[in-house]
Structure formats: structure tokens, C-alpha cells
Structure 1
Amino acid sequence: MAACVTSSKIFLTLRGSLFASHRKTLLPAAGLVQTWSPADSRRNASTASSNTESKNSEYCIDLVRARDYEGFLCSLLLPAEARGSSFALRAFNVELAQIKDSVSQKTIGLMRMQFWKKTLEDIYSNDPPPQPVAIELWKAVNKHKLTKRWFSRIIEEREKDLNDRAYQNIQELESYAENAQSSLIYLMLEAMGIKDVRADHAASHIGKAQGIVTCLRATPYNSSRRKVYLPMDICMLHSVSQEDFMRGSREANVRNVIFDIASQAHIHLQHARSFSKSVPPKAAPAFMLTVGLEDYLDKVRKVDFDVFHPSLQKRNPLLPINLYIRSWKNTY
């Protein structure tokens, strides 16, 4: 127990130190009368610029913390030189991911995707728009020379996902996950200065596992909105209809569908970990999200693959400690 408490304190200290570096005093002390000078003007301009940069960074951090909690925790454990870029990358991913659920018409979603396509071009032309995520992304691209192709793949895949239909088969879901999720991990590796084929192979499998788990996790929410995206081939194999999910069925055949899909995610995690001895040790922090994926797969197994079980909607309070311990061991 003492070890767990110590680990928790260390992790919270890490988080506190990160946020401390982003907090700035925005207002002068009350009651002070100051005389103006050109030097003061330059200092004020410099302070205003610093405050703006801080606000952009805080915006990304707060967005990731609110919408991608596990990604938020994983970013805290990255090396300092890559941490800010990680928040920018994850904030970009969140911005794209939430378009589908935040628009009532596909046309509006396409317009937002077009904004990010144009923004990407502007970023690589050193002319980012005055939008917090775009500015932080521009800084990350220039700092680490990030590959434009990975950003384009993410945008294009998210745009195709606006078609709002179920995946035809598990391979189609894996293809989506490779383009949307694995590409993000490739960018994380670049931000950490890692170029290694084995690390890329591991990233590919982790991204696919993440895409599959995300699809499972979202099933109760999507079903409540009368939308089902689970692979149709597996549903048909077990004689399960979309209506079964929409009414929250917990029958054996529905659980069999979840078992098959979850098993595929588990296989990808195993493949990713099969590279652990050959992947450069410094790449391990980029793969810490496997801890959260493993946690969900373990929980869904314990409830006999009942994807609607209430326990699956609760956060694991021990996840930060588990992540820290895995990070300390430098294993994924």
C-alpha cells in the first residue's frame, strides 16, 4: 500500500510540474501605479505574447484532458521535449474525432474537415490560422519536422467516417484504425526522435487495437442514438441485428459478437508486444496507451463480454498509478 501511495504522489507531482510550467499570471498586482516607458512597452508586448502562447498550450491540455483522458495521462509520461507536441497532436485528433458527433448534417462535417485540410496546408507554409490547436501543431511540426502524410491520412480517414455507416467487416475497421490511430502514434514517435521499423510495426498494431477498443467502448452511446458501427460480418455470423444493439440486448449471441471483436484487439496487442525486446527502449513511452486498452479488455472479459455493463463506463481510479509503474519499468 505504501508503494502505491508513493507512486501516486510521484505521478501527481509530475502532473503538477507540467501544469505549473503552463500557468502564468495574467493581471498586474492591484493598486500599483506604474510609469510608462518604451522598455515597459516592449516587456508588455513580450508578456502578452507569452500569455497568448500559454493560453494556446493550456487550451490543448484542457481539451485532451476532457475528451481523451487516457491520452492525457500518457502524454504526461513522455519526455519533456515531446510532451507539449503530444498534447498538440492529441488535441488535433480530438478536434477531428468530435466533428462526427457534433454536426447534424454531413455537409457541415465536410466543411469542418475542409478547414483542417486548409489549416494543414497553412501550417506547412508557416502561416497557421489564429486557432489554438493549429498554432500548437505548427510549433510541433517545425520543432520535430513531422511528416505531413500522417496528418493527411488522419483527416482523410475521419472524413470518410462521416458516411455514418457500419463497418462491412473487421478488416475495414482495422483499416480505419491504421489510418486514423496508428498514424497518430507514428507522429508521436517522430516527436520523440524515433525512426525505427520495428517501432513502426508495434505502432501499427497498437493503433489497430485502439481503433477496435474505441469502437467497442462507444457501442452503448452509439446504440442509444440508434447507430451501430460494429463489423457487419461478425454480427451476421452470430445472427445479431443492429436492432439487438439498439435495444441493449445482453443475449449470448450479442456477447459472442463482442467476444470476437475484443479478441481481435487482444491479438493486435500481443503482436505489438512481440516486438518489445527489439523496439528501441526510448519508444516505450509512446506505447503506454496499451495499459488503458488492456484494462478495458480485461474488464469486458470479467463481465462476460456484456458491452452494456455499467462497470465499463467507469474510469479505473488506479489507471494513473498503473501507467506510472509501467512507465517506470519502461515496458508497454
Structure 2
Amino acid sequence: MAKPSDPSGTRVLEGVAGFARRHDPDRFLCAIFAPQAARETLFALIAFNHELARAREAAKTPLIALMRLQWWRDVVEDAAAGKPARRHEVAAPLHAAIRAGAFDADRLLAMVDAREAEAEEEGIPTTAAFAAYLRGTAGGFAVAAGWLLGAPPAVLPALQDAGAAYGLAGVLRSVPALAARGRCLLPLDALAAEGLAPEAVMAAPTAAAVRRVVASLARPALDTLPGLRQRLRGLPRGALAAALPLVLARRDLRRLAAGRTVPAERGFGDRAAVALAGLLGRV
């Protein structure tokens, strides 16, 4: 795939590599195993996803979060309509990638829409709604990445499930970090089963009852992974990077299902597992 450029011929995607590495080291590591021609464009997708994820984190109120998401919705729609790019370290390269045909605008817009669940003041009500949120956010990222890398359409649903599994592991391992920022993304019905409310999670995110909720959400997902790996067998080597986060999800979910915590910083074992899977060409 040709590298998108501005009218003067200057490559515009190089700056997002450092951005992706700083803000999403997991996906950055996986992206290294993408074909070189598509790698920088994948970094732009990682950077875009990070900006969506931080919309609520960086906003003082849910309304401001929704306004930030609308700004990114406008970025995508402007690019699809051929309007000029906005001056922004992520918006500009994303615009170039969309104009070059690297991404389907509707898929990117669906990723924006899915983030609105994070701005709900009442929280995510049910486990089913939580699953839909994961499929739309991390799952949507995996589908967009797979589409970019040439994954067959028949494999995209499996990629979405793989992305959702990684997203689930990410939310569960981040319960303490989210609580420190006054947030809780665990579904309300799963909390209620343990007699908990979001306020209790934010007050004591490592309490035994919270760990039981985390384990109850991790175990069913962990059970689906063998079948999911079989469904990904049709993924070509060039699109493997879209599925590699599943390697980290599997390691995280095993720990979380057993009631253990997952360190905030990745260790050598996690990085080595991704590298080995990338070299062997299978997740």
C-alpha cells in the first residue's frame, strides 16, 4: 500500500508511530508485525483509537466527552467528503489514510459511536450492553485493522471477537486505575450480583467482592478462546497483527479468572509471547 502524503509529497504518517508507542504500547508492539507498507497507517488507527478512548478521561463532564467524540466524528466525515484535514497530530494522518482508501469511514464512525457508552452517567447497565460496548470499541478496532491488512471478510467476525476479548481484559485489568480516576466500566448487573455499586468499586477496587466480579467476567471469555483461535486460522500472515492482541488477552484473562491482578506495566513474558506468536504466524 502506498504511503499517504500531503500535496507537497511529504509523508504525513511518520509522527503517529511515536504517538502510538507512547499511548498504546500493546497495540504498537503487535503492529510491528504488520507488513511494512501498512505499518504507519496502522499506527494512525492506533492513535485514533487512543483519542476516542481518552475522550471521557480528558473531559470533566459526560457532555464534554460527547462533544470530543463529535469532533472526531466530524474528522472522519470531513475526510470521507473530501474536505480539508484539520490541524491535529492525529487528525491529519487519519484524514490522509481515509483519503487514500486505507480505512472504511463507516467502520471508523462505528468506533466513535461505541465510545458513547463511556459517557453514560449511570454506567453500563447490563453484561449484554457491556459485551456490545467491547465489540464496538476494541472489536471495532480489530475489524478496521484487519480490513486495512487485507483480512478476508469471512474472518472479520472472528477478529471482532478477538478484539473484544482484548478489550475485556483491558477493562478488567484496569479496574484499579479507572477507580483512581473516579470511573467504573463494569456492568451494573454483574456488580449487583455481588451486592456492589460503582461507588463501592471506586472506593475499594481490589476488594474481594470486586475481584469476584472481575473473575466472573473473565472466565466465560477465557473459555471461548480455543474456539476463537480455530476461527482465526483463515487469517493470512499479512493480517496477523490485527489478531495479535489476543495473545495478551489470553495471558491476562487467565490471571484475572484466577483472581490474580495483572501488573500495569507489561513484563518480558508478555512481550516475548507476542513476539513468538508474530514470528510463528499464529495466535
- When normalised by structure 1's length, the TM-score is 0.75
Structure 2: how far apart are the matches of 1:212 and 1:226?
A: 19
Q: How does 1:1-332 map to 2 (within 5 A)?
A: 50=10, 53=11, 57-58=14-15, 60-126=16-82, 127-197=84-154, 199-248=155-204, 250-301=206-257, 304-306=258-260, 309=261, 312-332=263-283
Q: Deviations over 1:207-231 (max 9, x none)?
A: 2212211221221022223432211
Shift of 1:321: 2.5
Structure 2: how far apart are the matches of 1:295 and 1:122?
A: 39
Structure 1 unaligned blocks of 5 or more: 1-44
What letter matches 1:328 in structure 2?
L
Structure 2 unaligned blocks of 5 or more: 1-6
Q: Deviations over 1:268-319 (max 9, x none)?
A: 4334212133444443232011112122223334xx414xx4x522321233
What letter matches 2:252 in structure 1?
Y
Q: Deviations over 1:79-120 (max 9, x none)?
A: 112101100001011111111111112332222222212211
What letter matches 2:228 in structure 1?
A
Helix, strand or coil for the counterpart of 2:34? coil
Distance 1:298 1:125, change over 3 A: same
Q: Deviations over 1:140-170 (max 9, x none)?
A: 2233442111111111121342124322221
Q: Deviations over 1:8-40 (max 9, x none)?
A: xxxxxxxxxxxxxxxxxxxxxxxxxxxxxxxxx
What letter matches 1:260 in structure 2?
S
Work out whether residues 33 and 241 of structure 2, in 8 Å CA contact, stay in contact via their aligned partners in 1.
Answer: yes
Structure 2: how far apart are the matches of 1:85 and 1:148?
A: 14
Structure 2: how far apart are the matches of 1:82 and 1:164?
A: 38
Work out whether residues 201 and 272 of structure 1, in 8 Å CA contact, stay in contact via their aligned partners in 2.
Answer: no
Structure 2: how far apart are the matches of 1:169 and 1:270?
A: 26
Work out whether residues 41 and 102 of structure 2, in 8 Å CA contact, stay in contact via their aligned partners in 1.
Answer: no
Work out whether residues 57 and 132 of structure 1, in 8 Å CA contact, stay in contact via their aligned partners in 2.
Answer: no
Shift of 1:193: 2.2
Q: Which residue pairs with 1:38 in the alignment?
A: none
Helix, strand or coil for the counterpart of 1:135? helix
Structure 2: how far apart are the matches of 1:250 and 1:139?
A: 43
Distance 1:168 1:81, change over 3 A: same
Structure 1 segments of 4 or more deviating over 4 A? 249-252
Q: Deviations over 1:41-79 (max 9, x none)?
A: xxxx96xx63xx45x522x12221121110110111111
Work out whether residues 210 and 265 of structure 1, in 8 Å CA contact, stay in contact via their aligned partners in 2.
Answer: no
Helix, strand or coil for the counterpart of 1:230? coil
What letter matches 1:150 in structure 2?
R
Structure 2: how far apart are the matches of 1:109 and 1:255?
A: 29
Structure 1: how far apart are the matches of 2:265 and 2:46?
A: 22
- Rg bigger for which structure? 1
Work out whether residues 151 and 235 of structure 2, in 8 Å CA contact, stay in contact via their aligned partners in 1.
Answer: no
Distance 1:114 1:276, change over 3 A: closer
Distance 1:271 1:149, change over 3 A: farther
Structure 2: how far apart are the matches of 1:297 and 1:257?
A: 13
Structure 1: how far apart are the matches of 2:125 and 2:223?
A: 20
Tell me how many residue pairs correspond in the alignment: 276
- When normalised by structure 2's length, the TM-score is 0.87
Helix, strand or coil for the counterpart of 1:298? helix
Structure 2: how far apart are the matches of 1:165 and 1:111?
A: 18
Distance 1:76 1:249, change over 3 A: closer
